[in-house]
Copies of this chain bind each other. A is one copy, B any other.
Amino acid sequence: MAHSNHEILQLFESALAQMNTPEEPELLYSPIIYSMSGGGKRLRPVLLLITLEAFGGNIDEAMPAAMAVEIFHNFTLLHDDIMDNADVRRGKPSVYAKWGGNVALLSGDAMLITAYKHLNRISASVLPRVMNIFSEMALEVCEGQQYDMDFESMEKVSVVDYMQMIERKTSALLSGSAMIGATMAGASDDDVKKIYRFATELGLAFQLQDDVLDSYGDESLGKKIGGDILEGKQTFLMVQAMSRADAAQREVLRTTHLAEELTNEQKIAKVKALYDALDVKHIAEQQIELRFERALNILDTLSIDSERVAPLVEFARNLMGRKK
């Protein structure tokens, strides 16, 4: 009897609520509890469990793996916030801001180990394969983070390099989670590969949409617009614009966020005017459509019945904020 996506989220939250964390040393373990109970959409464990059920797997058996990917995800946030000097996470002080860099560092290490500890609770018969997917995924996320930091000091990043970075930094954890779900349910190698491609394309569409919304989102929804522009961050819009700009425009794109004589609003407006002139929002939207459609098309080729595929389609649409 398959569960709805919402039921799966609830089952995961219940399992998470029962997670046992030692009390001492307090500065090692309190930040873990704080981080894990700080909300978040639980995208990765939910995708893992939805994929698992689509292929007929048992949720209870896979719950430790779902815990592992969520703990891993939160571990990356603890360490990313140190590297990015980020004080706020999900509307609350980050572990880094609340306890300092050393605590965020060491608690993060303990989280990564704890993720593997949970992984070790799955059946020994699938452990080596699942652990292989998990470790490869985890290394890809580190690689993505390193490329992202490398890009900060680069004048021009190619669109291809940018796409490869977000494939690691954003897609890898989604595709790894989905592959673990499929693998644990005994899906065929062919289906596991397709599930990988589905989640990879979906992750790219999701990240590109995130890039677009940071500059063109709806401020009435409470989202602050233009953060990426003010940071001079390499995003799909920026790397695409740089690739299409002439020398004068490139100079504007590279330097506007540093201009001391401009207000933040003026900086954002100036860069967005160039984005518009270079048509990059439109190009991004085309890419998002292309990736999202590819993701859905791959699902049609799975060897399972279409009613079993439906929850994956629903997950993908929800992720992208779409009705259909």
**Residues on A close to B: CB < 8 A?**
24-25, 27-28, 79, 82-83, 101-102, 105-106, 108-110, 112-114, 116-117, 120, 124, 127-128, 131-132, 135-136, 138-139, 142-143, 145-147, 149-150
Within the complex, the shortest CB–CB distance from A289 to chain B, in Å, comes to: 30
Within the complex, the shortest CB–CB distance from A164 to chain B, in Å, comes to: 10
CA distance A143 to B29 in the complex (A): 9
B residues less than 8 Å from A106 (CB atoms): 79, 83, 142, 145-146, 149
CA distance A108 to B83 in the complex (A): 13
B82, B113, B127: the one contacting A112 at CB < 8 Å is B113
Some 17 contacts from A to B, beta carbons below 8 A apart, are A25-B143, A25-B146, A25-B147, A79-B105, A82-B105, A106-B149, A109-B112, A109-B142, A110-B139, A110-B142, A113-B138, A114-B139, A116-B116, A117-B135, A117-B139, A124-B124, A124-B127
Copies of this chain per assembly: 2
The answer on a CB contact under 8 Å between A79 and B109 is yes
B residues less than 8 Å from A120 (CB atoms): 128, 131-132, 135
CA distance A200 to B107 in the complex (A): 24
Within the complex, the shortest CB–CB distance from A217 to chain B, in Å, comes to: 29
Q: A109-B112, A120-B131, A135-B120 are in contact. Are A143 and B28 (CB under 8 A)?
A: yes
Within the complex, the shortest CB–CB distance from A163 to chain B, in Å, comes to: 15
Within the complex, the shortest CB–CB distance from A44 to chain B, in Å, comes to: 16
The answer on a CB contact under 8 Å between B127 and A142 is no
The answer on a CB contact under 8 Å between B113 and A139 is yes
Within the complex, the shortest CB–CB distance from A86 to chain B, in Å, comes to: 13
B residues less than 8 Å from A145 (CB atoms): 106
Within the complex, the shortest CB–CB distance from A161 to chain B, in Å, comes to: 11
Question: Considering only CB atoms, which chain B residue lies closest to A144 in the complex?
Answer: B25
CA distance A246 to B135 in the complex (A): 54
CA distance A145 to B146 in the complex (A): 26
The answer on a CB contact under 8 Å between A102 and B139 is no
B residues less than 8 Å from A132 (CB atoms): 117, 120
Within the complex, the shortest CB–CB distance from A101 to chain B, in Å, comes to: 8
